[in-house]
Amino acid sequence: MERINLRNTSFITSQELNWIKEVTRDLSILTVPMHFWALFYPKRAMNQARELVNMLEKVAGPIGIRMSPPAWVELKDDRIETYVRTIQSTLGVEGRIQMVVCIIMGTRDDLYRAIKKLCCVQTPVPSQVINVRTIGQPTRLQSVAQKILLQINCKLGGELWGVDIPLKQLMVIGVDVYHNPSRGMRSVVGFVSSINLTLTKWYSRVVFQMPHQEIVDSLKLCLVGSLKKFYEVNHCLPEKIVVYRDGVSDGQLKTIASYEIPQLQKCFEAFENYHPKMVVFVVQKKIITNVYRSSTEHFVTPSPGTVVDHTITSCEWVDFYLLAHHVRQGCGIPTHYVCVLNTAHLSPDHMQRLTFKLCHMYWNWPGTIRVPAPCKYAHKLAFLSGQILHHEPAIQLCENLFFL
C-alpha cells in the first residue's frame, strides 16, 4: 500500500484504494483562492445554481479553499450564442476572472464544444461546465460539489495530493496520440510533464501533426519547452527523465528505440553540458492478457499492485505487466509496460514501484487508475484538443490542468 501526502497529513491507502473521504476532509497540498469567478446559468436553473454555490461554500473549508461569492450572470435562454456572447462580454468587463463556471440544461455537446473553444482557445480562462442534472439531486449534491471543487482547484493550478518519490531531480512525461478519422489524417499529440521536484506541478503542450509528419518533430518541441519550464521552477534541470509513451504497437517498438529516442536525446544539446539519464516505457492497454490469482476454490482477480515480470514476458525487451487499479467486478486486465531505453539503470523493481506510484497521482479520481497519471493527463489533453477544440489550446493555460 502507498502513502498519500496532503498538506498537513498523510495516510496509507486502504485495500479498496479510494481516498475520497480523506481528500474532502483534510487540506489539499496547495489551494488557489477563488476570489474572482463567474457563474453563468439559464433563468430556469436559478434554484440549482444557488444551491450549488451554497454547497460549494460549505465544502470549501475542509479542503482549504477560500471562496468569494461569484459574479452571478443569469442568461435569458440556453442558446449557444447567448452563452458565448455573455461570457465574452463578462470577461471583457471583468478582466480578473479566474474561472468560468457554466450550468447547462442537459447533455449538449454543441454547447459544451462552444464554451470550451471560447475558454481554451479564443479567450483563455479555466472553465467548468456542469450539467444541471448532475446537481439536481439534493442527496448527492454534497459529494458532487466536493468533486467539482477539487477539479476547479486543479484547473486553477492547485495541487491535491502526492506520493513519496525516492528518485531526486526527476521529471516524468506522458505522451499520447489522438487520431480523429472524421477530420482527415491529422493526428494530435498530447504531451504532459512534471515540472517540480514532488511531481505535483504539470506542464502541457499539444501539437497538431500534418499527414506524414513524424511524431518525433512534435515531441522535440514539447520536450525543450518542458525542460525550460522545469529550470524556471527549480533553477536546475532534471537529472533523470522517465517517459511513458502510449499508443504504440509491438511493430513500432524498434522504430521507437532506434530512431525516435535518439532524436529526442538531441534536444539535450540545447542546454550546455546537459546529459540526463533517460528511461522510456511504451504503455500498452489494448492487450489480451488477463491475470488471475488462485484461491482455495477458484481463480480471483489479484490485488492492486500485482506485477508479473516473468514467464509471459518478452524475451527481447525488459517488460512487465502491472494491475494497478481496484477491480470491483469481472477480471482485471493489467497494463503492459515495455522498457525501450534505460540509461538511468533503474532496476526492474524500481521501474515497477515508480510506475505504481504514478498510478496514484491522477487528481480526477481519488484512487489508483490503470496507467500512470502523466499518461492519463496526456490522453485527456489530446482527446479534448482533437475531439472538442480542433485546435491547440492557448499557451497561457499550459501550467494548469485545464483539460480535466
Q: What is the DSSP string of 54-112?
A: HHHHHHHHHHT--BPPPEEEEESS--HHHHHHHHHHHHHH-TT--EEEEEESS--HHHH
The reply to whether 246 belongs to the active site is yes
178 close to 218: Cβ distance less than 8 angstroms = no
What pLDDT does 360 receive? 96
What pLDDT does 94 receive? 73
- Kindly give the confidence (pLDDT) of every residue in the chain, 404 residues in length, as a single tens digit, with 9 standing for 90 and above: 899 999 999 999 887 889 999 999 999 999 999 999 999 999 999 999 999 999 999 999 999 999 999 999 999 999 999 999 999 999 987 778 999 999 999 888 999 999 999 999 999 999 999 999 999 999 999 999 999 999 999 999 999 999 999 999 999 999 999 887 765 667 899 999 999 999 999 999 999 987 767 788 889 999 999 999 999 999 999 999 999 999 788 888 888 999 889 999 999 999 999 999 999 999 987 766 666 666 656 666 776 767 776 766 666 778 888 887 776 665 678 889 999 999 999 999 999 999 999 999 999 999 999 999 999 999 999 999 999 999 999 999 999 999 99
* R_g of the chain computed on alpha carbons: 22
Helix (H) or strand (E) holding 152: helix 141-155
User: What gap in Å lies between CA 159 and CA 346, rounded to an integer?
Assistant: 28
User: What gap in Å lies between CA 282 and CA 189, rounded to an integer?
Assistant: 15
Q: Cell numbers for 283, please give them.
A: 504503455
Strands 127-131 and 335-342: unpaired
Cα–chain center distance at 6: 18
User: What gap in Å lies between CA 117 and CA 236, rounded to an integer?
Assistant: 35
Q: Cell numbers for 163, please give them.
A: 506520493
59 close to 188: Cβ distance less than 8 angstroms = no
Buried b (16+ CB within 10 A) or exposed e, 23-32: bbebbbbebb
What pLDDT does 247 receive? 78
Amino acid, single-letter form, for residue 44: R
User: What gap in Å lies between CA 338 and CA 167, rounded to an integer?
Assistant: 20
Largest CA-CA distance found in the chain, in angstroms, rounded = 68
Q: Which of 325, 336, 360, 379 is catalytic?
A: 379
User: What gap in Å lies between CA 219 and CA 133, rounded to an integer?
Assistant: 40
Question: Which of helix, strand or coil describes residue 286?
Answer: coil
Q: Which of 2, 78, 159, 176 is catalytic?
A: 176
Q: Which of 214, 217, 316, 349 is catalytic?
A: 214
The reply to whether 26 belongs to the active site is no
Q: Which of 2, 78, 159, 246 is catalytic?
A: 246
User: What gap in Å lies between CA 297 and CA 32, rounded to an integer?
Assistant: 52
User: What gap in Å lies between CA 206 and CA 196, rounded to an integer?
Assistant: 20
The reply to whether 214 belongs to the active site is yes
